[in-house]
Amino acid sequence: MIANMLSLSVSKHNKLINKIFRGNSDITPDEVIKILGILDFKAASTGGSHLTFRKPNCPSITIVLTQNPVKPYILEKLREALINEGYQNE
């Protein structure tokens, strides 16, 4: 399931990253999973409707799969992860 969600074309990848940096509040859990996969975060645990992603030397990010759109604090963590990986707000 997650492997299917991680496949993105470069164009869609860039559009999604720009959407996150613009502060767009309609980001879905599936979109968050795609970006975390691009950033090489790994799903570390599942507990019902929650999924935690981890990467060495980075704070973990837990998303609620049933929360659509995701909460603003998750978007902020995602923006921080993107910035840490060298992505910039365009």
Q: What is the pTM of this model?
A: 0.80
3-class DSSP state of 53: strand
Q: What is the pLDDT of residue 29?
A: 92
- Does residue 10 carry a pLDDT above 70? no
Beta carbons of 37 and 55 less than 8 angstroms apart:
no
Beta carbons of 82 and 20 less than 8 angstroms apart:
yes
Closest CA to 53 of 38, 63, 66: 63
Domain ranges of the chain: 2-84
The pLDDT > 70 percentage for the chain reads 88
Mean of the per-residue pLDDT values for the chain? 83
Q: What is the pLDDT of residue 71?
A: 92
Residue 75: both structure tokens together = 């978007």
3-class DSSP state of 3: helix
